[in-house]
Amino acid sequence: MSGISPSLAGPVMIAAGGTGGHLFPGQALAQELKRRGHSIVLITDERVQHFDRLFPGADIFSVPSATFSGPGLAGILSAAAKIVSGTSQSLAVMARAKPSVVVGFGGYPTMPPMLAAILRRIPTIVHEQNAVLGRVNKAVAPFVHAIASTFPAPKYLKPRAFPKLHVTGNPVRDAVLAQADVAFDEIGHGPIRLLVFGGSQGARVMSDIVPNALATLPTELRARLDVTQQCREEDLDRVGEAYAKAGISAKLSAFFDDMPRVIAQSHLVVGRAGASTVSELAVIGRPSILVPLPHSLDQDQKANAEILSNTGASIMMEQDGFTPDLLAATLSSLFSDGNKLSDMAAAAKAEGKPRAVQSLADLVERVARKKTGRLPSPYTQQPLSAPDGTPEPQEKK
């Protein structure tokens, strides 16, 4: 725990999009800040009802927002109206909650609360989980007091914003940290535990490709497989039938509430490359085959996957080349060479940042305390100071 005193003038407000990739780091920060004696306010969009259990004891507010991806001028005007309404409602929430600092985790639902915090001159931080700066974080970066990042130089961060950059890593939940010391179980002659998932909502491509790939493996290898796979509800029956026909033991579900434990028990993970997935694989230290979500304008998942693949911790397969034949050949090679999987697990572990949440919480406390007279204007490029008053080292431009 930080040596900083726990008292703050007001609660810490967390603004996070309604998907797990944005909410899980926010949840991790909330857990750490509550241990330090701070109160938490969560502000997000209408999907909050699916995630409010992640923030027990927090005051939770929902405000409207939208992305400018709608068709034509009508779509743009509709999105703008929702953002204006959400900003107005966020201003009212902040007037009531009186937060000492607002921390945004990206995603379009965070635009209204971040705009409101900037307008009210509340100390602000954004955290970027991905190797590519998200569009909301990029838009507000010139006006916030600090930019926390998983990676040293997120793409699209402008040089003049580098003095505000703090490389904290991506906070992971307590449930992930609880598995960080579970040693990798090397493949012997027993079961081979394979985990397959595609993010919080599942991915149809995994249901289409993985069962067909595993069905082509040699009989003796199929008999050793113990597959855990997340599927969409509508895909559960057909995937289950495919595995049964191939003689493969499989546990299927639309949602696993103990995913960190399942990751820790696995010999190999096949999945997407969202920021939380990549961070959790690294903290726990498990080898992976990552298939980035295609067609993203920012290609953020590809950039995330490259972080692990470049170190030998993962094998990246672009979706266009993610075929049953290629996957089967890759799995055969990995499963026949236990040393390779062990080396990949060690490489992943070396990339993990289990203290990321403490680093981010320290930054939140410092920014919140600089509100009274000492906090630089959000329009300046002054670096923050460390707790002892010396400037923090900054990443090179």
Contact (Cβ atoms closer than 8 angstroms) between residue 121 and residue 100: no
Query: Token digits for 373?
Result: 């007279």
Distances from the Cα of 299 to the Cαs of 155, 288, 370, in angstroms? Answer: 10, 19, 36
Q: Backbone phi, then psi, for 150, in 5-degree steps?
A: -70, -35
**C-beta separation of 130 from 275 below 8 A:** yes
- Pair 244, 293 in one domain: yes
Do 140 and 241 have their domain in common? Answer: no
For residue 66, the model assigns a pLDDT of 83
Contact indicator for 206, 271 with CB cutoff of 8 Å:
yes
pLDDT at 390: 36
Q: Give domain status of residue 396, yes or no.
A: no
Q: What is the CATH number for 234? A: 3.40.50.2000
DSSP state of 391: B
Asked if residue 385 belongs to a domain, the reply is no
Tokens for 5, please give them.
């005193």
Is the domain of 181 the same as that of 216?
yes
Half-sphere exposure of 16 (CA within 13 A, CB side): 29
pTM: 0.86
Q: Is residue 163 part of a domain?
A: yes
Structural domain harbouring 231: 177-350
Contacts of 368 (CB under 8 A, 6+ apart): 8, 9, 12, 100, 101, 123
Q: How far apart are CA 332 and CA 344, in angstroms?
A: 16
Q: With respect to residue 291, please indicate whether it lies within any of the assigned structural domains.
A: yes
Is 105 within a domain? yes
Looking at the structure, tell me whether residues 298 and 181 fall in a common domain: yes
Q: Which residues pair with 62 in a beta bridge?
A: 44
What would the two tokens of residue 211 be?
Answer: 């069962």
Regarding beta strands 192-196 and 165-167, do their DSSP bridges make them parallel or antiparallel, or are they unpaired? unpaired
Question: Please, which residues have CB within 8 angstroms of residue 197's CB and are 6 or more apart in sequence?
Answer: 203, 206, 229, 230, 256, 259, 269, 270, 271, 272
The pairing of beta strand 225-230 with beta strand 249-253: parallel
Query: Rg of the Cα trace of the chain?
Result: 22
Let me know how long the chain is: 397
For residue 36, what are its two tokens?
């330090």
Do 363 and 295 lie in one domain? The reply is no
User: Two tokens at 196?
Assistant: 């397959």
Residue 380 lies in a domain: no
Both tokens assigned to 161: 């914003």
Q: Residue 264: which of 345, 380, 330 has the closest Cα?
A: 345
**DSSP E strand boundaries for the chain:** 12-15, 40-44, 59-62, 101-104, 124-128, 146-149, 165-167, 192-196, 225-230, 249-253, 268-271, 288-290, 314-316
Residues 256 and 157 in one domain: no
What is the tally of structural domains in the chain? 2
154 and 192 in a single domain? The answer is: no
Q: What's the pLDDT score for residue 337? A: 85
The secondary structure of the chain in percent helix, strand, coil, rounded to multiples of 5, reads: 45, 15, 40
Splitting the chain (397 residues) into consecutive groups of 10 residues, what average pLDDT does each group show?
A: 64 87 91 96 77 83 82 81 95 97 94 97 96 93 96 91 95 96 92 88 86 97 97 95 98 93 98 94 98 84 95 97 98 92 98 96 94 39 37 36
Question: 267 and 118, same structural domain?
Answer: no
At residue 45, the pLDDT reads 84
